[in-house]
Amino acid sequence: MALVRAGSLRFHVQRLPATAGAAAPGRPVVVFLHGLVVDNLSSFYCPLAVPVARAGHEAVLYDLRGHGRTERPGSGYDSRTAVRDLFALLGALDLGQRPVHLVGNSYGATLALHAALARPDLVTGLTLLEPPLSGAWVENMVDTLSAAALSLEDSTVPTELLTLRLRKAANLTAIADALLNRTTLIDDIAASRAFTPADYARLRCPVLIVCGEHSELMPGGRELAQYAPYGELRILPGLGHDVLKESSGVLRKTVLAHLDATADAPAGAASRAVSGAAAAGPSAAWPRRGALVR
């Protein structure tokens, strides 16, 4: 475990070097962005981060602002601040000028999208697991978080869990209570603007979207794959939203294949392929808009 100061906060970070012998110079650093409230970097560690490092990619995992062991200020839970946190942290790790491939799960996938739109000069690829992209998701999440906040306020659940020696569950419950009742997280989520097709069309890099077959987020994934210049939608049969936990083997192979296919993509290359000379064209390894793989 390492606590790294970036800007005004200390972030909990895990950094996995590429396995000796498998590493290739110039490959992007793979950065993992987890989901909201009860999630943290540990959800990625065994299913994806370790295999990614063993395959020759340097991996960086961190707890988002207010989550896990990262410091928890009262405000700053909007996407713009989250993107600033990300690149400030990479700078603090001396990775500020390195190309990055962002892997985001659920809410972390939306942050990865925001980061790619903000810094197309650095983000060379995206892997988005179950990205929540619509305005309807924002409304539903705000309702869910607000209800959870009320149930946790003045709750004795963390103490009861500690009494039962369920320390991990107690810690997660306490973190959720602090985030929902003592920060601006819910208000910041409520103020979020939904992505539009015009946003997707501005993406400069290859984008892999992974959705469970029965996920309610599938329509947003389809729209993103349709409008992103080099978007690919991978559907995992029989699964819902929690693909990271429920399909680690298939997911691992899918993510590693995407990383290998896009490892040499320079930042902004998709943009140049779209706006530049047609004769050159994009890399053959990148799927064209709207590609669907089952």
Inform me whether the pLDDT recorded for 277 exceeds 50.
no
Q: What is the mean pLDDT of the chain?
A: 87
Crossing angle for the helix pair 79-92 and 107-118, nearest 10 degrees? 70
Q: How many CA atoms lie within 13 A of 203 on its CB side?
A: 30
Inform me whether the pLDDT recorded for 134 exceeds 90.
no
Radius of gyration of the chain (CA): 19
* pTM, rounded to two decimals: 0.88
- pLDDT value of position 146: 93
Backbone angles phi, psi at 219, to 5 degrees: -60, -40
Q: Which domains, and CATH codes, for the chain?
A: 2-133+194-293 (3.40.50.1820), 135-193 (no CATH)
Inform me whether the pLDDT recorded for 94 exceeds 90.
yes
- Identify the CA nearest to 115 among candidates 45, 179, 28, 175: 28
- pLDDT value of position 279: 30
- pLDDT value of position 245: 85
Inform me whether the pLDDT recorded for 53 exceeds 80.
yes
Inform me whether the pLDDT recorded for 67 exceeds 90.
yes
Neighbours of 137 (CB within 10 A): 20
Task: Specify which residues 9 forms β-bridges with.
Answer: 6
Using CA atoms, how far apart are residues 131 and 209, in angstroms rounded to an integer? 8
Inform me whether the pLDDT recorded for 155 exceeds 60.
no
Q: Which amino acid is at 119?
A: R
Alpha helix (H) residue ranges in 183-247 = 185-190, 197-201, 218-227, 243-246
Using CA atoms, how far apart are residues 276 and 270, in angstroms rounded to an integer? 10
Confidence band for 173, pLDDT divided at 50, 70 and 90? confident
How big is the CA angle at 22 (ends 18 and 23), to the nearest 5 degrees? 50
The tokens describing 42, both together, are 């540990």
Bigger pLDDT: 90 vs 274: 90
Confidence band for 293, pLDDT divided at 50, 70 and 90? low
Inform me whether the pLDDT recorded for 56 exceeds 60.
yes
